[in-house]
A and B are shown apart, each in its own frame.
Chain A
C-alpha cells in the first residue's frame, strides 16, 4: 500500500510538472493583461487602436497610438518574408531533392549554425556591414531603415523556414514521386508540380512560424531600423516596431505610470499576434500530417 501511494505521489508530481507549462502560458497572458489594463483608465481603447501617433512624452497631451508601430512591425515582417520565403523554400527543395547525401551532410549543420547566431550579433552586423552598403546604394544617411531590418529578419527567419519546409518535403510519400516519374515527368517537374504542392500545407506552416519569429524579433530591428517615432512611409525610412518600442522605452519609463502600462498593452498585442500566427501554423500543420497518415 505504501509503495502504491508513493508511486501515486510521484505520478502526481510529474503531472503537476506538465500542467506547469499551461500555467506559464496562461500566466504570461494574465500578467500582461493585469499590467496593461490600468492604462485604459486614462486612455480609451479606441485612442490606442486608432491614433496614428505614439508620443508618450508630449508636453501637453501624450498620445498612445498603436498604429505607427503596428504598421512598422508588419512592414519589416512582410519585407523579410519577401526575401526569406522564396530563398528558404528554394534551399529546402535543393536539400531534399537535388543535393547529394554528402552535400546534405555538410549543408544541414550550416543551417543549424545560422539558427544559432544570436540576434544581437545579426543586429550588430546590420549596423556595421549592411547599413553602409544600403546607405551607399540608396543615398540614405546611415542605412538604418526598414529595408535593413527586413533583410536581417529574413536571415533570422530562414533557418526555421528551411528546416521545417525540408521536413515537409521529406514527408511526401515516395509513391507520389515514383508515380510522377513513371508517367514521364522529369525530376524538375516532379519537384515543382508534385512534391511542392503535396507538401504545401507543411511549407505554409513553416513560413508562418518563420513569420512569427520575424514579428517578435527584438534586437535586430532595435539596432538596425533607426527607430524614428514618426509614421512609417517607405522602406528607406526609419521605423520603430512594437518590439523596439518596448525595448527602448521600458528601460526609461517610471513604473506604474500610464506609459508603463501602455507598453504592456503593446506587449499584449504582440503576444496575441504571435499566438494567433502560431496557432494557425499548428492547425495547418496538423491537418497536413493527418492527410499524410
Chain B
C-alpha cells in the first residue's frame, strides 16, 4: 500500500513538471501563432520596400528595416573588436589575480545593467559629452556597450575550445605569444566567436529602450544619409505603432507586420549563428 502511494506521488510529481514544460512551450506557441497569423497577411514586397505614407497609416516599413540594419552595423563595429580583445586578454594573457577577478565581476555586472540605464549612459556620454547628437552613431555605440558582455563571454568560450597543444606547438617552434595566438589560436576560434557575436547582435537589433533617446525617430521622410542622422528602427516603430500613433486600431495590422518582420530578422540572425556552429562542429569532427 505504501509503495503504491509512493508510486502515485511519483507519477503525479513528474506530470506536474511535465505540465510546467508544456506551459512554457504553450507560451512560445501562442506568441508565434498570434504574430504569424495576424502579421503574415500584410507582408508584401511593397510593405518591405516602401516608406510609410499618409501619416503612417499606409505604406511599408523600409526605413525602419534600413535603420535597424545601420545601427546593428555600428554595434558590431564597436562590440566585436572590443569583445574579442577583452576575451583574448582574459583567456590568453590574464593571470588568476585580483585584477582578473575584478574584470570578470565587472562583465557579469554589466550584463545585468538594465537596458534603460544603458540608454541614460548613452545620452550622457555619446549624445551630450561626445557631441554625437541623437544619431545612428550614438545609438549604435550605446547598443555596442550593452552587447559587450555577451560578445566577451562568447569569444572566451570559443578561445577555450582551442586545445592547449596548438599554442604550445607554435611556442615550441620559437613563435612569440602573439604570433601563436594570431596564427594558431584565432583562426580556430573565429567561427565560434562569430556564432556568439551574431547571437549578441540579434539581441541588440531587437532592443528598444537604449535607442529611445539616443537617435530613434518617430518618422523620417528620408532615409538617413550619414551616421550622424537620426533613424527609424523596427523595434521603435513597433512601439510607436502600438502605443503612440493617433489612430492605433487603424494601424494595428502594420504593427503586427512590423512585429513579424522584427521576429523574423532576429531568428534569421539566430539561424545563421546556429548554421555556423553546426558547420564548425562538423569540421571539428573531421579534424579530430
Partner-B contacts on A (CB < 8 A): 3, 6-7, 10-11, 13-15, 17-22, 24-25, 27-28, 31-32, 34-35, 86-88, 90-91, 93-95, 97-99, 107, 110-111, 113-114, 116-125, 127-129, 155, 158, 162, 186-189, 191-192, 209, 212-213, 215-219, 222-223, 243, 246-247, 250-251, 255, 263-264, 267, 270-271, 274-275, 277-279, 282
Does B48 interact with chain A (Cβ within 8 Å)? no
CA of A11 to CA of B95 in the docked complex: distance in angstroms? 12
Does B169 interact with chain A (Cβ within 8 Å)? no
Q: Do B270 and A282 touch (CB < 8 A)?
A: no
Does B42 interact with chain A (Cβ within 8 Å)? no
CA of A282 to CA of B108 in the docked complex: distance in angstroms? 8
Given the interface pairs A15-B93, A91-B17, A186-B6, the reply to whether A117 lies near B117 with Cβ below 8 Å is no
Does B35 interact with chain A (Cβ within 8 Å)? yes
Q: Do B212 and A247 touch (CB < 8 A)?
A: yes
Q: Do A21 and B148 touch (CB < 8 A)?
A: yes
With a CB–CB cut-off of 8 A, which chain A residues contact B24? 87, 91, 110-111, 114, 158, 162
Q: Chain A's nearest CB lies how many Å from the CB of B287?
A: 24
Does B53 interact with chain A (Cβ within 8 Å)? no
Q: Chain A's nearest CB lies how many Å from the CB of B104?
A: 9
With a CB–CB cut-off of 8 A, which chain B residues contact A17? 82, 85-86, 88-89
Q: Do A247 and B209 touch (CB < 8 A)?
A: yes
Q: Do A31 and B125 touch (CB < 8 A)?
A: yes
Majority SS at the chain B contact face: helix
Other than the given A10-B178, A90-B16, A271-B113, 6 more pairs (CB < 8 A) read A7-B177, A94-B17, A98-B17, A110-B24, A188-B13, A243-B116
Does B9 interact with chain A (Cβ within 8 Å)? yes
The residue among B31, B116, B202, B207 with the most chain A CB atoms within 10 A of its own CB is B116
Q: Do A124 and B242 touch (CB < 8 A)?
A: yes
Given the interface pairs A18-B89, A128-B252, the reply to whether A118 lies near B117 with Cβ below 8 Å is no
Does B77 interact with chain A (Cβ within 8 Å)? no
Q: Chain A's nearest CB lies how many Å from the CB of B87?
A: 9
Given the interface pairs A91-B20, A271-B117, the reply to whether A188 lies near B14 with Cβ below 8 Å is yes
Identify which of B55-63, B187-195, B259-267 touches chain A.
B259-267
CA of A243 to CA of B116 in the docked complex: distance in angstroms? 7
CA of A24 to CA of B141 in the docked complex: distance in angstroms? 12
Mask for B230-249, Cβ within 8 A of A = 1, else 0? 00000110110011000000
With a CB–CB cut-off of 8 A, which chain B residues contact A113? 28, 267, 270
Partner-A contacts on B (CB < 8 A): 6-7, 9-10, 13-14, 16-21, 23-25, 27-28, 30-31, 34-35, 82, 85-86, 88-90, 92-94, 99-100, 102-103, 105-110, 112-121, 123-125, 128, 145, 148, 152, 176-178, 199, 202-203, 206-209, 212-213, 235-236, 238-239, 242-243, 252, 255-256, 259, 262-263, 266-267, 270
> Which residue in chain A gives the minimum CB-CB distance to B236?
A120
CA of A31 to CA of B122 in the docked complex: distance in angstroms? 10
With a CB–CB cut-off of 8 A, which chain A residues contact B119? 246-247, 250
Q: Do A11 and B93 touch (CB < 8 A)?
A: yes
Q: Do B103 and A243 touch (CB < 8 A)?
A: no
With a CB–CB cut-off of 8 A, which chain A residues contact B31? 117, 121-122, 125
> Which residue in chain B gives the minimum CB-CB distance to A111?
B24
With a CB–CB cut-off of 8 A, which chain B residues contact A21? 86, 103, 106-107, 110, 148, 152
Q: Do B238 and A32 touch (CB < 8 A)?
A: no
